[in-house]
Every structure is written in structure tokens, then in C-alpha cells.
């Protein structure tokens, strides 16, 4: 319910006279049981019609560990899960979202992947679908024509090749499909559709507020970050557009919070102007303005206070790594002093809790880097002692450490991921050094990250594993209490597929990668160069300080990045 | 600022909106209808909305009461129309008043309980005319054996469709009885299990069984 892309596309599709779009979410296992017992199909929320009544079923793929849910939802609707088993034009299954940076593990199940931003391309696809339906095309003819639409990837028209050792060597298209599928983008965000009145749920959901998307893309180029690389080029919305959209949405929804969202909102150049335009309007109505995350080097108490005029929330920073050396490797250009300064300012102005986000298992990481995480946590508590205006209230520093998963489309797409054992060992070590007064240490079992790491850089041989695991009962794999690693293990064994081959193996630059026919606009050369710089411990400048020529601006066809 | 009281219904799928979510639903509906609410003072101001007698999630009602503070000299024209347009399906405001009867005067709530189980209405009438019906009741201090009859008024049962319609007033407010215990008592004493039960709150009353508003 809280996914912005879904809100945009839902509104957009319903604004077209020939299109009727409804929502459907994966039912929790208890609901699934009831549906199956009552022989009811999985149904759409607005009409209650079964999914099988719809022409097109579109999935947003936000997380690798939701793949079995895709299969399960189709099955619950009585729709064959394999694309090849769905005949005719009915029940066309399409998918988009950030996991399409490597759609291969779902190639057997999805008819058309939409690569990039869906606003324009999905309408072209629907248009084609209408023609095909009217003229009674067969599915193959439709798919071949769909593959000609920019940004549409029809996996059935591509054949992967492997050498005698089972290594992927390349993929060849047929029926005139393009060798490379280039991501689609919306060039001018000010002119793009934005929903006036998204659905407001009557029960509590996460991120339940007005989401005002201030820009797309990110200037930072953190080397681990998939969104930072695949959502380029950088495009901003004007403050005028944003103020209008924010007020309209707040009026129409009644939300009491407007969140300025993007990958790095403090990098939005006209943030002051935007806040000036919204703050008084909001304050009068008890609506708060929120920034989802701050950069320590850009932190301004004045800004934070203005934003928090109505309600004060905690501060979050994401240093991601414990030492300057490792932060240079991952290109997270935050210095410890910046962090301490930001915290000091905040503490002096009444804040008393800070959340810090980190990763472990980053390339080149040593124990010293982990020690750095504890050192910073201690440092922040020290800063609080020196700067707090009210020491009686106490301070809470939370350090959350996630496991690093190398993602396709990033400079780290060639890197081996730490094994589960390595990650567990590091966690044990962290638990020991993070016993610090006023500091909470959050961590997560690495097994889910491991599975995520397998699928993130998987190829089509994983389709069989996903199918097998789903048949054995796997779903909601991203939920600790639902993940059945034993069943996954059985499925991998039954299919003769080795998890470590995908997750823990270093790739060489010469190797063909199974997702490289999907082109997100950033060249392989740029990613390679960034990888080499990482291993030399060299940070790179952000797009504003100096364009590195990553390639993304070519998607603007003559335009330039809005840095 | 004036304090006002709404009378509203909660029917259909809206019965699944919990008490806490319902406050949020109303807060947003007021905002969408552009009716300014008064806010509490302090570090975390929140809108001054109180739902008088929280209804169990899953129950329907035609007599819910909500107090709010209006931050304007008077209600806008077409207030009920605007607010109802802004509320989700199933929630419908049927009246607004300036009543200041304090909530602590609520003593009873009348329910209609429709249930399907293997007993006759006559058997139930007989059961509820006994001297005592003792069931295990959850209280703040843990479980206790409670005779529920002193907490009930005017029990009536009659056949309806495939089941039985029970009308009963249960204690509400300070010392209260969840009407689910009425079904629990029947199940215990008659040795049956209800295959389906639904609850509708019809009315709230004061000590002397006057309608509370
Ligand atoms: S083209 Fe240059 S400015 Fe644009 S995203 Fe790439 S590196 Fe940044």
C-alpha cells in the first residue's frame, strides 16, 4: 500500500478512459488457507472480482524475496504460473520495479518486463494490447510486437547460452527483439502524471502519508546502491509543481504528514524554496513535513527544526561503514566530523535520539572497520554528553547493521558476497563490541540476505528453483517467521543448483553477466572504473562536483542531467 | 472552540476498522471535509477526538458517539453532507449535537446478536431466567469466575432465518460485559458451539435506561 510507484501507476491507469485498474496484495498464509478452503480466487480489492477476470496482471518487484509470492498469487487466482502455459492474450503478466535490474530469475513466469519508469511505456503497451485484442492476434504476435516498444523486455524471445562448465556466456534475441533493452524514463517530471488523490487506507499501513517525490536519480553514486545507479539520470521537479501537488494531495487525503521523498532529498537544490512554500500552509493545519533521511554533511538544524515544527521525530544518518577507508571504498562520502557536528547541533537543540545505519560484509572489510562502528557509536554518546541541553532526558543511539548484498547494475556487481558463516561470525563479533551504554545494536540473521544475494545476480536456471520451492510451500521468504530455508535447500538440491555459485563467487570483468542485456543507462565501463577505484580506496566526486560520464544522460536524448 | 458530539453508524466492512484506526479515519475525514479540529496543547499536539464507548473490532453499530472540538465559530454549511462524503463506506454520521452529558453516565449498551447454533430460543430464554450463569471472564487482574446475569438486562431470543436473534442489554462503561460472554455462556451451559455470530450495537443507555446522548 505504501509503494509510491504503485500509487502513481494506479492513478495514471485509472485516468485513462479505457482502463480500469484495481489493487491486489499477496494474502498472508492464514487468508490463503481460507481462500483455498472456500475455493475462492484471489481477488482485487475494489470490485472483489477474481484476478482471472482481468486482462493484464501487473506486479511490482521490490524485493527478490517476494518472487515466490508472484507465483503464489497467480496460482491463487487460478492462472497458470508459467508464461508458456498461459495461452492467448488473456492474463498477460507484466512486471516492473527495481528487481528488473535483473529479471532473469522470473523469466519463465512473466510475459513482459517493463524496464525503467512505467508512466509512458505501460500506456504504449496497453495500446498495443487493445489493438491485439481487437484484431484477435495470437500471443506470439503480440509479444513480438511488444518487444519493439522501448523498455519492454519479452523474456520468451531470448535464449541464454552456457559453456560446458555451466557458465553463462550470453543471450540471443529472436523475432526481431532488440539485443539490448534500454530503460525508459520520464524526461520532464514537471509534466509527468502525479496522483491528486491516492487511496487512503482505513487501517494502519507503513509510510501512510503524502509522498511528494522531489526528484529521481541520485547525484551520490554510492557503489553498493542499486537505486543510485539504476535510477539515473538526475531529474528534479520544480518547487512550484511540488507545492501544488503537496497541497492538493494533503487536501484530498487528509494526511497529517507530507514526506519529501527521493533517494537523497537534502540534495534537492531548491529545498529551502520548497519548504518556504509549504511550511506555513502545513503548520496552520497541523501537518508535518518530513525528510526521510538526512546526510550528515548537509545537516542543518535550522532546516530540521523548520521541518519538525509540527512534530519532532528522531534523527537518522547512514554512515554505512565504520572507517573512512571503507567509506571511501564504497564511496559514501560522509566524514566522522560531519556526523559528530550534525549530532552535536541536534543534541544542543533538544534532540535525544539518533539512528545510524551500517552494512557489514562490504568489499575489503576488516575487523577494524567493524570496530569503527562501535567507535562511532561511542563518539556520538560522547558528543551528547558535551552538547546536550538536557542531560536528564538521556540519549538513545541505535546502530542497525544490515548485511551487504552485491546488486546487479552497481560497481559491486562483480563482488563475492560474504558467506552466511562469515556474516554470522562478524555478527557475533559485533554483539561483543556493541555492549555500550546508551547504544542499541540491531542486526538481522544473514540467511535472508544470502537468499537475496542468490536471486539478485541469478540467471534463468533459478526459475526452476523458484518454482520448485514454491511448490514445496515457500512464500513470504522475506519474513523471518515464514522463511523455510530447509525447503529452499531441498529445492536447490533437487534442481542441482549451487547457491554459493551465485552469491559468493567473484566474477571477472571478462565474464558475461546474465543481466547485461538490460541497460539502465549506466555503462559497463563506468561500473568497471568505479569498481577499480573502490579497490584502490578512491572515492569519486558526486555528479554536481564533476560528471563522471556514466552514460545516463544519453537517456535524455540531448538533454543534460539536472544537477 | 466548541465541543460537539457526533452520532454515527459503523456497518458493513467498516466493522473491521479498529478503534485506534477509526480515530485516524475521522481525523482525516475532518481534514478532507475542511472542518478545523481543535488540538491538544503540548509537545505532541493531537486532535481532540474522543470515541465515547470503544466498539470491539468486527462489531457493527448504529449508535456510536464521538466528541470533537471545533476550531471555528460554527459548523460549515452542509456539515453532515461534507463529512459523510469524506468518510469511508460503512461509516455514516447521522447527527451532531452540543450535548455535554458526560460519558461516565453510560451504564448499558443494547446489542442484537445473531447466532447460528444448535439450540432453541426457548431453551435460551429458560437459561437466562436462572439464578446464576458463571463463566470465566478476563479482567484487568487476570481471569475470574463471574456470574454474568447481574450485568444483563432484558434478555430476549427469537428465531430468525437459520439462526437465533438475541436482544440484550449488557453493562457498559465502568463495569462492563462484552456481549461475546453471552454466547460463551450459552456454549458452556448448552454444550454447543456457534458456527456463526454477528453483533450489532443498537443503543446506549444511562442507569435508568434512558437513551444516552
Ligand atoms: S551522466 Fe554525469 S551527472 Fe548524469 S548521472 Fe551520470 S555521472 Fe551523474
Q: Which CATH number is B53's domain given?
A: 3.30.70.580
CA distance B101 to chain A (A): 29
Q: Compare A303 and A512 and report the one with higher pLDDT.
A: A512
CA distance B130 to chain A (A): 39
Average of per-residue pLDDT across A260-283:
91
Q: Which residue of B has its CA nearest to A254?
A: B28
Q: Confirm or reject: Cβ of A550 under 6 Å from ligand 1.
A: yes
What is the model's pTM? 0.92
User: How many folded domains does chain B comprise?
Assistant: 2
Exposed / middle / buried, residue A136 (Cβ in 10 Å: 0-12, 13-18, 19+): exposed
Residue among A196, A199, A202 with most chain B CBs within 10 A, to mutate: A202
Average pLDDT for residues B95-116, to the nearest whole number? 95
Binning pLDDT at 50, 70 and 90, where does residue A10 land? very high
Mapped onto helix, strand or coil, the DSSP state of residue A500 is helix
A239-253 and A271-284 helices, crossing angle to 10°:
20
Q: Would you say residue B212 lies in a domain? A: no
Question: Quick check: ipTM above 0.85?
Answer: yes
Rounded to a whole number, what is the distance in Å from the CA of B28 to chain A's nearest CA? 4
CB A145 within 8 A of CB A212: no
Say yes or no: B85 and B119 in one domain.
no
State residue A449's pLDDT score. Answer: 97
The residue assigned the cell 501487473 is A58
Pocket flag, ligand 1, residue A232 (CB < 6 Å): yes
Q: Any idea of the CA torsion for A294, A299, A303, A306, to the nearest 10 degrees? A: 60
Nearest Cα neighbor of A371 from A399, A404, A341 is A399
Residue A178: the pLDDT is 98
Please, which residues have CB within 8 angstroms of residue B61's CB and are 6 or more apart in sequence? B9, B10, B11, B55, B200, B201, B202
A553 lines ligand 1 (CB under 6 A): yes
Q: How is chain A split into domains, by residue range?
A: 4-182
- Residue labelled with grid coordinates 559453456: A163
Question: Do both B120 and B157 map to the same domain?
Answer: yes
C-alpha A389, offset from chain centre? 38
Contacts of A203 in chain B (CB under 8 A): 16-18, 21
Please say if the pLDDT value at position B167 is more than 80. Answer: yes
Mark whether B12 and B42 lie in a shared domain: yes
Q: How far is the CA of A232 from the centre of ligand 1 (A)?
A: 7
The answer to whether the CB of A543 is under 6 A from ligand 1 is yes
pLDDT tier for residue A311 given thresholds of 50, 70 and 90: very low
Domain contains B30: yes
Domain span at B38: 2-100
Please say which residue of B100, B126, B143 terminates a domain. Answer: B100
Q: Which residue, chain included where needed, has cell 491463487?
A: A76
Distance of CA A116 to the CA centre of its chain: 12
* Strand A181-182, strand A168-173: pairing: unpaired
Q: How many CB atoms lie within 10 A of CB A95?
A: 21
Residue A99, pLDDT above cutoff 90: yes
pLDDT score recorded for residue B77: 93
What is the rounded average pLDDT of the residues A436-442? 94
Within this chain, do residues B61 and B150 fall inside the same structural domain, yes or no? no
Q: How far apart are the CA of A218 and the centre of ligand 1, in A?
A: 9
Q: Around Cβ A21, how many Cβ atoms within 10 Å?
A: 18
pLDDT band at A313 (very low <50, low <70, confident <90, very high): low
Among residues B44, B68, B100, the one where a domain terminates is B100
Q: What is the C-alpha separation between A473 and B74, in angstroms, rounded? A: 59
pLDDT (average), residues B172-184: 94
pLDDT digit string, tens, across residues A178-234: 999 999 999 999 999 999 999 999 998 888 899 999 999 999 999 999 999 999 999
User: Coil, strand, or helix at residue A402?
Assistant: strand
**Domain-located, residue B211:** no
**pLDDT in the model for residue A308:** 58
Instruction: Please report whether residue B210 resides in a domain.
Output: no
Q: Classify strands A152-153 and A158-162 as parallel, antiparallel or unpaired.
A: unpaired
Instruction: Note whether B120 and B196 are same-domain residues.
Output: yes
Identify whether residues B83 and B111 lie together within a single domain.
no
CA distance A252 to B32: 6
Contacts of A310 in chain B (CB under 8 A): 45
With CA atoms as reference, the chain B residue closest to A202 would be B25
Residue B22 within a domain: yes
Of B100, B121, B138, which marks where a domain is finished? Answer: B100
Look at residue B182 and tell me if it is in a domain. yes
Nearest CA to ligand 1 atom 5: A233
Amino acid at each position: 500500500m505504501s509503494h509510491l510507484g504503485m500509487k502513481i501507476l494506479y492513478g495514471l491507469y485509472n485516468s485513462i478512459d479505457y482502463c480500469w485498474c484495481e489493487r491486489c496484495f499477496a494474502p498472508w498464509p492464514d487468508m490463503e488457507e481460507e481462500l483455498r478452503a472456500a475455493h475462492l480466487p484471489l481477488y482485487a480489492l475494489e470490485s472483489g472480482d477474481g484476478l482471472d477476470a482481468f486482462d493484464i496482471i501487473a506486479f511490482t518487484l521490490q524485493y527478490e524475496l517476494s518472487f515466490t509470492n508472484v507465483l503464489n498469487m497467480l496460482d491463487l487466482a487460478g492462472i497458470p504460473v508459467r508464461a508458456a502455459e498461459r495461452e492467448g492474450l488473456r492474463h498477460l503478466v507484466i512486471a516492473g520495479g527495481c528487481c528488473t535490474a535483473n529479471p532473469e530469475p522470473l523469466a519463465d513466469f512473466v510475459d513482459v518486463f517493463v524496464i525503467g519508469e512505467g508512466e509512458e511505456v505501460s500506456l504504449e503497451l496497453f495500446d498495443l494490447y487493445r489493438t491485439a485484442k481487437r484484431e484477435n492476434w495470437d500471443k506470439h504476435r503480440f509479444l513480438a510486437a511488444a518487444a519493439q516498444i522501448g523498455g519492454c523486455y519479452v523474456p520468451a524471445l531470448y535464449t541464454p547460452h552456457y559453456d560446458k562448465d555451466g557458465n553463462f556466456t550470453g543471450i540471443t534475441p529472436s523475432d526481431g527483439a532488440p539485443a539490448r533493452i534500454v530503460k525508459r524514463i520520464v524526461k520532464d517530471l514537471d509534466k509527468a502524471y502525479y496522483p491528486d488523490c491516492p487511496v487512503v487506507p482505513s487501517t494502519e499501513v507503513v509510510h501512510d502519508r503524502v509522498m511528494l517525490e522531489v526528484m529521481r536519480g541520485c547525484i551520490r553514486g554510492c557503489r553498493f546502491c542499486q537505486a543510485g545507479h539504476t535510477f539515473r539520470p538526475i531529474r528534479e521537479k520544480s518547487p512550484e509543481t511540488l507545492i501544488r501537488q503537496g497541497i492538493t494531495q494533503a487536501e484530498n487525503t487528509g494526511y497529517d504528514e507530507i514526506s519529501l521523498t527521493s533517494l537523497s532529498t537534502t540534495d534537492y537544490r531548491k529545498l529551502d524554496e520548497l519548504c518556504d512554500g509549504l511550511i506555513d500552509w502545513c503548520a496552520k493545519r497541523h501537518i508535518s513535513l518530513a525528510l526521510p533521511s538526512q546526510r550528515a554533511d548537509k545537516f542543518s538544524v535550522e532546516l530540521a527544526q523548520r521541518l519538525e515544527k509540527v512534530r519532532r521525530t528522531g534523527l537518522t544518518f547512514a554512515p554505512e561503514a565504520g572507517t573512512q577507508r571503507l567509506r571511501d571504498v564504497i564511496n559514501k562520502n560522509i566524514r566522522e566530523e560531519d556526523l559528530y557536528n550534525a549530532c552535536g547541533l541536534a543534541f544542543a537543540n533538544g534532540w535525544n535520539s539518533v539512528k545510524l545505519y551500517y552494512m557489514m560484509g562490504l568489499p575489503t572489510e576488516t575487523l577494524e572497520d567493524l570496530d569503527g562502528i562501535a567507535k562511532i557509536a561511542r563518539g556520538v554518546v560522547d558528543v551528547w554528553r558535551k552538547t546536550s541541553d538536557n542531560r536528564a532526558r538521556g540519549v538513545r543511539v541505535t546502530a542497525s547493521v544490515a548485511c551487504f548484498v552485491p546488486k546487479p547494475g552497481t560497481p559491486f556487481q562483480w563482488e563475492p558476497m560474504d558467506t552466511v558463516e562469515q556474516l554470522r561470525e562478524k555478527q557475533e563479533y559485533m554483539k561483543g563490541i556493541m555492549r555500550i551504554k546508551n547504544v542499541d545494536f540491531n542486526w538481522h540473521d544473514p540467511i535472508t540476505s544470502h537468499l537475496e544475494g542468490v536471486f539478485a545476480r541469478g540467471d534463468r536456471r533459478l526459475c526452476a528453483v523458484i518454482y520448485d520451492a514454491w511448490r514445496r510451500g515457500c512464500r513470504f521468504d522475506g519474513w523471518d517467521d515464514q522463511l523455510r530455508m530447509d525447503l529452499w535447500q531441498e529445492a536447490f538440491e533437487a534442481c542441482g543448483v549451487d547457491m554459493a555459485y551465485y552469491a559468493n563467487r567473484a566474477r571477472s570483468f571478462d565474464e558475461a553477466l546474465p543481466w547485461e542485456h538490460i541497460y539502465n543507462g549506466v555503462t559497463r565501463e563506468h561500473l568497471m572504473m568505479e569498481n577499480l577505484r573502490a579497490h584502490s580506496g578512491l572515492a569519486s566526486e558526486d555528479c554536481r562536483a564533476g560528471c563522471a560520464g556514466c552514460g545516463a544522460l544519453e537517456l535524455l536524448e540531448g538533454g543534460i542531467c539536472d544537477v | 472552540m466548541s465541543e460537539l458530539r457526533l452520532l454515527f453508524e459503523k456497518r458493513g466492512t467498516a466493522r473491521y476498522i479498529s478503534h485506534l484506526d477509526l480515530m485516524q479515519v475521522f481525523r482525516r475525514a475532518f481534514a478532507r471535509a475542511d472542518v478545523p479540529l481543535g488540538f491538544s496543547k503540548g509537545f505532541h499536539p493531537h486532535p481532540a477526538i474522543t470515541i465515547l464507548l470503544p466498539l470491539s473490532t468486527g462489531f457493527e453499530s448504529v449508535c456510536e458517539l464521538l466528541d470533537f472540538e471545533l476550531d471555528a465559530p460554527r459548523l460549515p454549511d452542509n456539515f453532515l453532507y461534507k463529512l459523510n462524503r469524506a468518510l469511508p463506506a460503512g461509516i455514516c454520521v447521522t447527527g451532531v449535537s452540543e450535548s455535554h452529558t458526560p460519558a461516565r453516565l453510560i451504564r448499558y449498551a443494547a446489542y442484537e446478536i445473531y447466532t447460528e447454533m444448535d439450540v432453541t430460543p426457548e431453551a435460551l430464554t429458560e437459561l437466562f431466567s436462572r439464578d446464576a450463569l458463571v463463566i470465566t471472564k478476563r479482567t484487568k487482574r487476570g481471569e475470574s469466575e463471574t456470574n454474568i446475569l447481574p450485568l444483563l438486562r432484558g434478555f430476549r431470543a427469537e428465531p430468525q432465518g437459520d439462526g437465533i436473534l438475541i436482544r440484550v442489554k449488557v453493562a457498559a462503561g465502568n463495569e462492563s460485559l462484552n456481549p461475546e460472554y453471552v454466547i460463551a455462556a450459552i456454549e458452556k451451559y448448552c454444550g454447543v458451539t456457534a458456527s456463526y455470530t454477528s453483533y450489532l450495537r443498537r443503543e446506549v443507555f444511562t442507569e435508568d435506561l434512558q437513551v444516552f446522548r
